[in-house]
Amino acid sequence: MRVASTISLPIETRGQLEKQMRGRSTSVRAAQRSRIVLLAADGLQNKQIAAQMGVTPRMVALWRGRFIALGLDGLLKDAPRPGRTPAISATIVSAVIAKTAQSTPTNATHWSRSTMARDMSISDSTVGHIWRADGLKPHRADTFKVSNDPEFADKLEAIVGLYLNPPEHALVLSVDEKSQIQALDCTQPGLPMKKGRGQTMTHDYKRNGTTTLFAALNPAGNSEP
């Protein structure tokens, strides 16, 4: 039979435990733990204390050990509990991130949550959580353009320099165009907005050719002389 660790109480400590056990302002848990320690100090074993108090021997052993290790302070607060075990391992998270960034699925241009979930044998929601945490958006792609002009840097400096330091009494404009704008028109007049109903317009339309929009911007804020 396993014998529990012995507790020897100085008179002062016993008095504090008795006061804590009977104190009107003491919590029920602290009073119960104090009584466990007092009975243990009287020589009772864990099973005997458990039977007398109507608790489990495991609970008695816990607070006997806490008192031996931490003293009175150990009875006033619960022991720290371990954190929740991650539902998905770090290895799986790293594998999903690497596969998303470095590969594409068969017969598709990018990974979706469902295709990645099937490939990794995890749930769609887990894939979504990993992507959100790492800022991954496989369905989106940004564009860029690299100039092959060997004089690109010199031209860039000349244009930017002209914007920042234009000639005296000169107006510098940056001009751009948007071509092939479709000139569309409704086939039927729409109805105006009124209370309880928004403005309406026909779903179909007729084409009136295309047009081009030109825009000019004075980047340096100059005005005409």
Per residue in 73-115, pLDDT (tens digit) is 888 776 566 666 566 788 899 999 999 999 999 888 899 999 9
Cα atoms found within 13 Å of the Cα of residue 86, Cβ hemisphere only: 9
d(CA 170, CA 222): 8
pLDDT-derived band of residue 223, with 50, 70 and 90 as boundaries?
low
CA angle 37, 24, 42 (to 5 degrees): 20
In the chain, how long is the greatest CA-to-CA distance? 106
For residue 222, how many other CB atoms are within 10 A of its CB? 13
- Over residues 121-163, the pLDDT tens digits come to 899 999 999 999 999 999 888 888 888 999 999 999 998 888 8
**φ, ψ dihedrals at 167, nearest 5°:** -60, 155
- Over residues 5-62, the pLDDT tens digits come to 888 888 998 888 888 888 777 788 888 999 999 999 998 999 999 999 989 999 999 8
The domain locations on the chain are 11-76, 90-134, 152-191+200-217
Q: What is the pLDDT of residue 111?
A: 93
Q: For residue 50, give the 3-state DSSP assignment.
A: helix
Q: Taking the domain 11-76, which CATH number applies? A: 1.10.10
In which element (H, E) is residue 181 found? strand 174-186
**φ, ψ dihedrals at 208, nearest 5°:** -120, 35
For residue 136, how many other CB atoms are within 10 A of its CB? 17
CB contact at 8 A, 114 and 79: no
